[in-house]
Amino acid sequence: MNLAELNPGDEKLGLMVWFRVHGIKGKIIPGKIKSWNDEYIFVVFNCDNNWGNWMNYTAEACYPQDLVLYAAELQPSNLIPGPPK
């Protein structure tokens, strides 16, 4: 992702993204964008599969280059855990 794509007031809050796990080729983790600043995108990854309540969970700071927008047509078999339905 590119931070330039995220502007205040954008509809990016809650957008599904995948985090590329470093050192493990092909491993990605789904999450939702909670906020961002000039350097990081803050993403909720683990909410006990309670995606309807994801805003109440703590987000982790991620470098934008480590995130990919979620695309339903990309369904790798090694998601950890699966994306919300």
Q: Tell me the per-residue pLDDT of 15-64, one tens digit each, with 9 for 90 and over.
A: 888 888 777 776 788 899 998 888 899 999 988 888 889 999 999 999 98
Q: Could you give the CA distance from residue 33 to residue 43 in angstroms, rounded to a whole number?
A: 5
**Measured between alpha carbons, how far is 85 from 81 in angstroms, rounded to an integer?**
12
pTM for the structure as a whole:
0.72
- β pairing state of 60-62 and 67-69: unpaired
Task: Locate the domains of the chain by residue range.
Answer: 3-69
Question: CATH class for domain 3-69?
Answer: mainly beta
DSSP state of 53: G
CA quadruple 19, 84, 38, 61: dihedral sign: negative
